[in-house]
Structure 1
Amino acid sequence: MSSYNNSIKFPLDIEDSNIIFEDYFYRIEHGIKQKIYQAVLIQPACPYCGSV
C-alpha cells in the first residue's frame, strides 16, 4: 500500500507521514462524477504523558 499512498500524497503535496490513504471511491453529485479519497490520520502518543 505504500506506493499507492505515496502516489496520492505527491500530487497533493502532502508531506505528513501520519496521514495514510487507504482507499478511494466514486460518487455522483449534481450529475458530476467525483473521485473521493479515504484517509486516516495516525495520531502518535505524546512522548511525555502518553496521551493520544
Structure 2
Amino acid sequence: MGVIIYPYLYLLASIISNNQKRIFKISLLKKSKFLFFSFFWYNVYNKFKGE
C-alpha cells in the first residue's frame, strides 16, 4: 500500500513546487515591469524638466 502512494506524493510535491516557482516568476516579472516603467517615466520627466 505504502509503495503505491509514494509516486503520487512525489508527483504532488513536484506539482506544488512548480506552481510556487511559476507564482514567484510572475511576481518577479510584475516587479521588474513596475521598476522598468518607473525608471522610464523618471527619465522622461527629467528630460522635460531639463528643457
Q: Same fold by TM (over 0.5)?
A: no
Q: Does 1 or 2 have the higher relative contact order (CA < 8 Å, sep 6+)? A: 1
TM-score of the two chains, using structure 2 as the length reference: 0.20
More strand by share: 1
Give the number of the structure whose alpha-carbon radius of gyration is greater.
2
More helix by share: 2
